[in-house]
Amino acid sequence: MTRPRRGRPLPVLLLTATLTAALALTAGCSSGPAGTTAAPSPSTTLAPMEPPPIGDVPRLSRVDDRALPIEAYLLSGEQFRQLDAAQGVLVTRCVRGFGLDYSAPTPTAPTATQTTHRYDPVDISDVSANGYHSPDPDRGKKPGAAPSLAPDVTAVLGAGLGPDGRPAPGTATEYRGKQLPSGGCIADAQRQLAARGGTGRDADVVVGVNYEGFERSRQDPRVQAVFGDWSRCMAERGYSYGTPGDALKDPRWGAAATPSADEIATATADVECKARVNVLGVWYTVESAYEQELIRQRLPELTAAKGANDAMLAVAASVTATGT
């Protein structure tokens, strides 16, 4: 069964977690390190900002092959994989130190980038099959049972560190008379990776720029103007939507498990009209300009966040070089 693309207008934030606990040392925490800015919620009112100047606007039919300025400060999918792999080495080494047979799962890097689904839908072959529903990568596959872990291994692994940076209450403190690391082997691996800085997740100031640039671009008069061009193109084909987001979030699509012929026809017109009036070229260019200005304003915080990530990645590289 495919799922409606609910909330796709928001940027994609990459995160992998192939172990029992998420790699992020403060996963699920809504506030970050001191001095950082949390990502604005959809209801946040942004302070007024003069629309930044833009240069030539390219004609684009796809953006997944392009990067946004903020990506220089975000952890990439490959970097998350590197952190996850290093955590797996440390956890495996720790569990085996207690005489147990265990190997951490091999992590893979996410294939989606910050721009893959940012302005969805954009791919005519996608919407021809799926409309506004997300493609189902598991369609046709037989469901497989998740690998089970022995109770002893589960106890030694622990649950990692919670949002407050401390182990969950009730975590085992010893195994067969031998002291366990506080929070278990996962928590110990997290602490080792963060020994020189970093948290295993993107700093709130970086996430904030990522979201704020998107929201400001969506409200920008130049983007609103191309939305108007898109809306008139759609009207010529018999569809009444003010913006691409209105078409994407049409409640009819969310009410169905699979795309209808009407949904596919609407999404196809959406993609064709985006290409006709160059929605992607304008939107991507304007959003990039906002990000560049936000980066200029917050450069010291962003530089510090990148330095912390780089420090953690250096520890991860050293760990994986030694292996288990």
Exposed e or buried b for every residue in 60-74, given b needs 16+ CB within 10 A? beebeebebbbbebb
Predicted TM-score (pTM) of the model is 0.83
- Domain boundaries, given as residue ranges, for the chain: 7-37+64-126+152-322
pLDDT at 142: 58
**Which residue shows structure tokens 């080495």?**
89
Whole-number Å distance between alpha carbons of 32 and 37:
8
Contact 88, 20 (CB under 8 A): no
Whole-number Å distance between alpha carbons of 259 and 138:
17
Kindly state the tokens that stand for 147.
């690998």
Largest CA distance in the chain: 75
pLDDT at 231: 98
Whole-number Å distance between alpha carbons of 83 and 23:
8
pLDDT at 27: 31
The secondary structure of residue 11, as a DSSP letter, is P
Residue 96 CA to its chain's centroid (Å): 32
Stretch 170-189: mean pLDDT: 95
Contact 14, 80 (CB under 8 A): yes
Contact 173, 179 (CB under 8 A): yes
The secondary structure of residue 70, as a DSSP letter, is G
pLDDT at 1: 41
- Percent of the chain past pLDDT 70, that is, above it, reads 82
Q: DSSP labels for 228-285? A: HHHHHHHHHTT---SSHHHHHT-HHHHT-SS--HHHHHHHHHHHHHHHHHTHHHHHHH
Whole-number Å distance between alpha carbons of 313 and 79:
7
The pairing of strands 3-4 and 174-175 is unpaired
Give residue-wise pLDDT tens across range 88-127.
999 999 999 999 999 999 999 888 889 999 999 999 999 9
Whole-number Å distance between alpha carbons of 20 and 24:
12
pLDDT at 143: 56
Whole-number Å distance between alpha carbons of 24 and 200:
4
pLDDT at 19: 40
Give residue-wise pLDDT tens across range 224-277.
999 999 999 999 999 999 999 999 999 999 999 999 999 999 999 999 999 999
Contact 121, 132 (CB under 8 A): yes
Give residue-wise pLDDT tens across range 7-61.
333 333 333 333 433 333 323 222 222 233 344 444 468 999 999 999 999 999 9
pLDDT at 139: 54
pLDDT at 98: 97
Reply yes or no on whether the pLDDT at 161 is more than 60.
yes
Give residue-wise pLDDT tens across range 213-234.
999 999 999 999 999 999 999 9
Q: What is the mean pLDDT of the chain?
A: 86
**Which residue shows structure tokens 């979201």?**
211
Question: For the chain, give me the number of helices (H) and strands (E)?
Answer: 11, 4
pLDDT at 136: 67
Q: Is the dihedral of CA 116, 119, 120, 124 positive or negative?
A: negative
The secondary structure of residue 292, as a DSSP letter, is H
pLDDT at 183: 95
Name the 3-class secondary structure at 161.
Answer: strand
